Structure 1
């Protein structure tokens, strides 16, 4: 594969195209400044304005959320895995029926594998614009987002209506539901209350990995962060590994399916049969299946890179879920 061909499979941080109307809470005060990015796969955006950078199926989706300080993402749930790692900023993740059951603060490089089947949200509690990168299980990302009832009700008060088709309509812009299309039904309180509300002590030890713990374990060989035998033992339909300077090698290897490289710190030289490039934090690279390649730091200093590849496990609830 030539460098020009490979460049079409690389999304540079500076080239990311945001959507500011991706979800139903886009006009709700406190959530109206967030930006959504769909990097690989169709994602779960409810807006036709969402730009998809790479549409090639990988068995999972890659996206990102960018938010200024004090901006939050409203309570929602997914039917497949949702994994985040912090690229920049300081973030509070919270969960439960009303977002009060538990919470954890994550900083640069930390990763959380949020259990399926619980309402969750997150907010930037740092002092600057922050970015979190997301991995969603399955090519269709579980069919979309399940919103807590109060989120849909609040959105209606600010002009946004979600159709039963999963598409957003903005009444402030004169949009209305097409004939024959009904609004998305609002979940009853009875159904919403059936969603688990695990405590912080139940979630954090099993679903959160700290950056420096991962780096320490990856001192001499890559560490499996999420996977059947990983630090966070789960089988969400993909595996997440961490590579550091000490664990990197110039030896080439390949996978029988596409894989993704996402630096969190440092600059990484990626070499493949046909060319090479350099990735920086925030860049995302899709490596084709059966292509020999390797990655190693190209400069001195701290360097860590997440590696994601799909598995044959179903992209749905797993044995470790708290439901």
Structure 2
């Protein structure tokens, strides 16, 4: 199998070319959340807005996205039915969870990765001093069928002109939009339904769902560090596996796999070579390598070099929280 330079470039989403959507979710007008930007890199993601740009539409069994936010901007409490994994590309972030966001929290630094348990309400905010970016891996081709919002998020959004229809689409009264005939507003979760959402503490979550970048860098000194997967530091099977690679652990010889592989550069510049050419990947770039393509990676410069490698697996993209 071979790819031309043009074909490979079409499978690379450059950090500098990312196109944001500022109206992706129901809290787009809510004060405190109205400056966030959502990016859909691979797959349809979970955006509720027709304005969302999708860079690569084909899904490899999972979705890749990102969120960019200025300091003090937060993403409102929501839940997913399948995996939502973040690693911090830039900045310092606080993740919090629970019905009201006060069941537990953890602060992540650059490179740290968080496999957020399914079925819990979660949110996050940039607590750094500059614009921050977190990269996301979402389980399943359809990313779990959308977002489940905490009731107060829907109520707050309605007060600021945004209504979510039961069809999962947003309607903005500030633009003169209204729910189409026959479409009802998304119903609020009842008190009985809310009881099904766990309220784990930080002690329940952090040791089993968070991996620190510098711990992984030490593990990846001579071989790839298995982060998420059957033998990973975080032992979930969410439909994909994640490894951290460094200059000391990248295979020297070209290799191929029968699975989809996505390369997400954390630090340094990496040269990707294959039968057909070579390209340089920079921090924040995302590359979708097709199954069967023999390829090799090598850092292009001296200094710190790391990337997250995500591969599809045969596991169903189901729940990860075991309780």
TM range (shorter): over 0.9
Q: What is the match of residue 291 of structure 2? A: 289
Q: CA deviation at 1:250?
A: 2.9
Q: What is the match of residue 261 of structure 1? A: 263
| Counterpart pick for 1:205 among 204, 207, 223 | 207
Q: Which moved more, 1:73-82 or 1:185-194?
A: 185-194
Q: CA deviation at 1:258?
A: 1.8
Alignment of 1:193-272 (within 5 A): 193-272=195-274
- Partners of 2:314 and 2:54 in 1: how far apart? 25
Q: CA deviation at 1:322?
A: 4.0
Question: Counterpart of 1:246 in 2: which secondary structure?
Answer: coil
Deviations, residues 239-273 of structure 1 (Å, cap 9, x unaligned):
00010011123311112122100110111111111
- Partners of 2:264 and 2:251 in 1: how far apart? 17
Question: Counterpart of 1:261 in 2: which secondary structure?
Answer: strand
Q: What is the match of residue 130 of structure 2? A: 128
Question: Scaled by the length of structure 1, what TM-score is found?
Answer: 0.98
Question: Counterpart of 2:288 in 1: which secondary structure?
Answer: strand
Q: What is the match of residue 151 of structure 2? A: 149
Q: Is the Cα–Cα contact under 8 Å of residues 92 and 105 in structure 1 kept in the other structure?
A: yes
Deviations, residues 56-98 of structure 1 (Å, cap 9, x unaligned):
1200000000000000000000000000000000000000111
- Partners of 1:69 and 1:269 in 2: how far apart? 33
Q: What is the match of residue 178 of structure 1? A: 180
- Partners of 2:175 and 2:4 in 1: how far apart? 45
Q: What is the match of residue 140 of structure 1? A: 142
Q: Which moved more, 1:184-193 or 1:262-271?
A: 184-193
Q: What is the match of residue 303 of structure 1? A: 305
1:119 aligns with 2:116: no
- Structure 2's unaligned 5+ residue stretches are none
1:65 aligns with 2:67: yes
Counting matched residue pairs gives 321
Deviations, residues 198-228 of structure 1 (Å, cap 9, x unaligned):
0001100000000000000000011110001
- Partners of 2:253 and 2:259 in 1: how far apart? 19
Q: What is the match of residue 33 of structure 2? A: 31
1:42 aligns with 2:47: no
Runs of 4+, deviation exceeding 6 Å:
none
Q: What is the match of residue 162 of structure 1? A: 164
Q: What is the match of residue 10 of structure 1? A: 12
Q: CA deviation at 1:194?
A: 2.7
- Partners of 1:221 and 1:273 in 2: how far apart? 25
Q: What is the match of residue 92 of structure 2? A: 90
- Partners of 2:322 and 2:116 in 1: how far apart? 10
Question: Counterpart of 1:22 in 2: which secondary structure?
Answer: coil
- Partners of 1:273 and 1:100 in 2: how far apart? 52
Question: Scaled by the length of structure 2, what TM-score is found?
Answer: 0.98
Deviations, residues 134-183 of structure 1 (Å, cap 9, x unaligned):
00000000000000011000000000000111000001111001111111
Question: Counterpart of 2:111 in 1: which secondary structure?
Answer: coil
Question: Counterpart of 1:315 in 2: which secondary structure?
Answer: coil
- Structure 1's unaligned 5+ residue stretches are none
| Counterpart pick for 1:76 among 54, 69, 78 | 78
